[in-house]
Amino acid sequence: MPTEVTYGLPYDQWNWRIGVYIAMIGIAGGAYLTGYIADLLAEKRDSRQYGQVAKFGYLVGLGGLAIGPPVLLSHLAAPFRAMMIPLTMTNLGSWMSIGAYMLMGFGLGTSVMFLWLAFGTNRPHARTLGSSNEVAADGGEDVAADGGPAKAATSDETAGGFRGAANKVGLMNLLDSIADYTRPSRRNRLVVGALFGIFAAGVLVYSAMAYGSGSTERVALWDPTFLLPVQILTGLGAGLTVAVGLAALAERDVSRPIQNCSLGAAGLLAGGLVAVAATLFLLPEQIPAAQPAVDNLTSAYALEFVGIALVGGLIVPIALSIAGTLGVRRDALSDSGAVGAYVAAAALVVAGKLALALSYLMAAEFTPMPLPV
């Protein structure tokens, strides 16, 4: 006969590492996709500044993968076995298996796209330097191989930024050679980027489905109808916000394309805020079992959810992104002030995404599953 299995709250088994994993892969997927759109705009409008946002978008995607999955693996008793899931588990009806394939393809894609933009003697969207006082496209000053000033951003070394770091560890020439040898034509590079974008979109969807939503529907708060828009919009918005903050910091000013991207990020974050509000007000009407979890979000976990995730991670970054852009356009704020606003928004949105993921884990309540005994 069946018996009820009593589960504790999800975070009893799924601790903070799961929240970090979900947040980081969401930011990573969103950063790649918005970065790719910036890449398209850079090619269409011949804009190096959009190219900067694209490059940092790919970098944020790479960074999210460098943080999220290792943190998840540290939670498992057999991490090496989990790493082999793409090779040992082919159940395409399971999001664990699908997510592993998406992450594998996405990791390759974001690495390659970043390599092609950041390295090589003919890298796209690079700044052509007119004097030794200008900065390179990655935030460092280009110098010639003999240590003297370079005449173009296609020089062999830089004194700072990505290429400077690679040069210090003796990898720059190797990375330049690999990038130049493998980089296809501009059109084909964008086609390849679009194909890898499929994996990025899969990772973004997986950042919602990784919560465990499925046919059993044991966790009403994680209903995919409401959870998917929240994860997709906040992932896109957070990824673009971080890319904009890094690009503005590297440029040390805020050009019109970076301003436009900042406004786009604010719009995506606003969409995420609306999706969260819809969850709070509409989900309990559609699924009454979700009411206790929604109450948990606004009471027991109000600090994490309302204070850090909503106010600190969405509302304040939206305000900073808009204020920074409008302030510069109306000559009410200096470029350095706008850079500070964009960087602050980037830091806050990451903290907010982490808090949102953790809140959804801690507030959720399980429906016991009848099992035959």
Domain boundary assignment for the chain: 10-120+183-363
| Largest CA-CA distance found in the chain, in angstroms, rounded | 81
How would you class 159 by CB atoms within 10 Å of its CB: exposed for 0-12, middle for 13-18, buried for 19 or more?
middle
At residue 364 the predicted structure's pLDDT band, cuts being 50, 70 and 90, is confident
Q: How many residues does the chain have?
A: 373
pTM, two decimal places = 0.86
At residue 119 the predicted structure's pLDDT band, cuts being 50, 70 and 90, is very high
Q: Helices 256-286 and 16-45: crossing angle, nearest 10°? A: 140
Q: Which residue has the higher pLDDT, 11 or 163?
A: 163
Rounded to whole angstroms, the Cα distance separating 22 from 109 reads 19
At residue 97 the predicted structure's pLDDT band, cuts being 50, 70 and 90, is confident
Instruction: Write down the pLDDT at residue 121.
Output: 87
pLDDT tens-place string over residues 120-155: 988 998 876 543 333 444 444 443 333 433 334 443
State the DSSP code for 253. Answer: S
Instruction: Write down the pLDDT at residue 146.
Output: 37
Instruction: Write down the pLDDT at residue 270.
Output: 98
Residue linked to tokens 């819809």: 278
234: number of Cβ within 10 Å: 30
Residue linked to tokens 């930011």: 27
| 363 pLDDT more than 70 | yes
Mean pLDDT of 290-308: 95
- CATH for 10-120+183-363 is 1.20.1630.10
